[in-house]
């Protein structure tokens, strides 16, 4: 763990104490945060399960439907609430849904890349990851388990009560796309393909890479015309009037030197969820909020 992460992890218990004291004195401490995972490797599955059990001591997991109701104001936000999401559509997502989430009765939201789901074999899948999702490392250096979910996997997740969202058509970096027709291809047709194939409405969209520079006002306005909820990768709390088009998420892992996503230690994730790093994202969140409120019709 880096020094920076060590310092943050050591801040967890003091921050939690501050939160508990504020609660005791009746301050409004209602929270709604969104966790972001990617692949969960077989080696990390127990750690992932333990992390969710540990989180459940301080946080309530909400379903995507409850999250929608809370964001729209139909359901009051009380206490500390967490939505679990996954990006990209890795095959391990179905495995952890069935082996970890379902036994814990957690319903998650899976953001998938429609061109990735279409792939039929391991070689195509790993070439796609190397070219479109991770930009560079050759397929043979990717972790052994990395491969796409299939349409059957997504149907199974829906049957199990989970929700599917869109994560673009080809995992393009939308901030680099200027052409409106190319943006629509990525943002809108990717979701329409999912909707047609799965027979369910696709209302949730997470843009790729998650940072502000990977998105744009033009891309957000395009997405806003198609979706009810748009998610970033910027850390923050969604409980107090955040636009449904500028939702914050907390990534719960970092990519290590072997290109795995290693699940964070509990205390480090706990510190992030207590808001220890939110200040770092405040300026980008403000820009995202401004885009979310900007006038339509400019493009
Ligand atoms: Zn992604």
> For residue 213, is pLDDT > 70?
yes
Q: Tell me: the pLDDT tens digits for 24-69?
A: 666 668 999 999 999 999 999 999 999 999 999 999 999 999 999 9
Per-residue pLDDT, 263: 80
Q: From ligand 1's centre to the CA of 173, what distance in Å?
A: 9
Q: Nearest 10 degrees: CA dihedral of 89, 2, 16, 55?
A: 30
* pTM for the model: 0.93
What does the pLDDT read at residue 23? Answer: 72
Amino acid 275: pLDDT: 93
168 alpha carbon – ligand 1 mean position (Å): 9
> With 60 as the cut, is the pLDDT of residue 299 above it?
no
Does residue 136 or residue 36 have the better pLDDT? 36
pLDDT, position 11: 77
Provide the β-strand partners of residue 165: 111
Å from CA of 129 to ligand 1 middle: 10
Q: From CA 180, how far away is CA 78, in angstroms rounded? A: 40
Average pLDDT rounded to a whole number, residues 211-240: 96
The β-bridge partners of 254 are 262
Confidence category of residue 297, pLDDT binned at 50, 70, 90: low
What pLDDT was estimated at residue 190?
96
Sequence length of the chain is 299
> What's the CA gap between 48 and 90, in Å, rounded?
15
Nearest to 290 by CA among 216, 235, 206, 228: 216
Residue 12 has pLDDT above 80, yes or no: no
Given a cut of 70, whether residue 254 has pLDDT beyond it is yes
Provide CB contacts within 8 A for 215, sequence distance 6+.
174, 175, 207, 232, 288, 291
Q: How far does residue 249's CA lie from ligand 1's centre (Å)?
A: 13
Q: Give the range among 26-30, 149-153, 155-159, 184-188 with minimum mean pLDDT.
A: 26-30
Q: How far, in Å, is the centroid of ligand 1 from the Cα of 10?
A: 29
Average pLDDT over residues 244-256: 90
User: Is a pLDDT exceeding 80 seen at residue 127?
Assistant: yes
Look at residue 5 and tell me whether its pLDDT is greater than 90.
no
CA 252 – CA 265 distance, rounded (Å): 9
Taken in order of first residue, the domains within the chain and their CATH numbers are 3-293 (3.20.20.370)
Cα–Cα dist 244/218, whole Å: 17
Mean of per-residue pLDDT scores for the chain: 92
92 or 19, which is more confident: 92
pLDDT attached to residue 280: 94
Positive or negative torsion for Cα 132, 134, 140, 146: negative
From ligand 1's centre to the CA of 75, what distance in Å? 30
d(CA 83, CA 90) in angstroms, rounded, equals 19
More confident residue, 86 or 6: 86
Cα of 87 vs centre of ligand 1, distance in Å, is: 5
SS3 per-residue string spanning the chain: CCHHHHHHHHCHHHHHHHHHHHHHCCCCCCEEEEEEECCCCHHHHHHHHHHHHHHCCCCEECCHHHHHHHHHCCCCCCCEEEEEEEEECECHHHHHHHHHHCCCCCCCEEEECHHHHCCCCHHHHHHHHHHHHCCCCCHHHCCCCCCECCHHHHHHHHHCCCEEEECCCCCCCHHHCCCHHHHHHHHHHHHHHHHHHHCCCCCEEECCCCCHHHCCHHHHHHHHHHCCEEECCCCCCCCCCCCCCCECCEECEEECCCCCEEECCHHHHHHHHCCCCHHHHHHHHHHHHHHHHCCCCCC
Centre of ligand 1 from the C-alpha of residue 59, in Å: 26
Mean pLDDT of 83-100: 98
- The answer to whether residue 173 scores a pLDDT higher than 60 is yes
pLDDT band (50, 70, 90) for residue 226: very high
Residue 191 has pLDDT above 80, yes or no: yes
Query: What pLDDT was estimated at residue 19?
Result: 73
User: Is 266 exposed, middle or buried, given 0-12, 13-18 or 19+ CB atoms closer than 10 A?
Assistant: middle
Higher-scoring residue by pLDDT: 231, 255: 231
- 136 or 133: which carries more pLDDT confidence? 133
Burial of residue 186 (CB within 10 Å: 0-12, 13-18, 19+) is buried
């Amino acid at each position: 763990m880096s020094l920076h992460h060590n310092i943050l992890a050591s801040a967890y218990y003091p921050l939690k104490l501050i939160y508990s004291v504020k609660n005791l004195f009746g301050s409004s401490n209602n929270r709604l945060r969104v966790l972001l995972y990617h692949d969960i490797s077989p080696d990390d599955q127990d750690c992932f399960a333990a992390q969710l059990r540990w989180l459940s001591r301080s946080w309530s997991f909400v379903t995507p439907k409850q999250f929608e109701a809370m964001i729209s104001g139909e359901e009051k936000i009380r206490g500390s609430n967490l939505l679990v999401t996954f990006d990209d559509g890795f095959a391990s997502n179905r495995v952890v849904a069935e082996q970890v989430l379902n036994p814990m009765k957690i319903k998650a939201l899976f953001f998938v890349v429609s061109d990735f789901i279409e792939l039929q074999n391991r070689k195509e899948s790993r070439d796609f990851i190397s070219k479109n999702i991770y930009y560079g490392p050759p397929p043979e250096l990717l972790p052994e388990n990395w491969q796409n979910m299939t349409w059957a996997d997504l149907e199974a997740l829906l049957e199990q009560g989970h929700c599917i969202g869109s994560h673009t058509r080809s995992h393009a970096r939308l901030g680099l796309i200027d052409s409106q027709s190319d943006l629509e291809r990525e943002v809108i047709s990717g979701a329409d393909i999912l909707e047609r194939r799965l027979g369910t409405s696709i209302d949730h969209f997470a843009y790729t890479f998650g940072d502000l520079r990977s998105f744009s006002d033009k891309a957000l306005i395009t997405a806003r015309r198609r979706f009810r909820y748009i998610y970033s990768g910027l850390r923050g709390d969604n409980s107090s009037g955040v636009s449904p088009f500028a939702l914050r998420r907390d990534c719960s892992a970092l990519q290590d030197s072997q290109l795995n996503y290693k699940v964070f230690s509990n205390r480090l994730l706990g510190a992030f969820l207590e808001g220890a790093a939110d200040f770092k994202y405040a300026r980008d969140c403000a820009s995202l909020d401004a885009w979310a409120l900007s006038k339509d019709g400019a493009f």
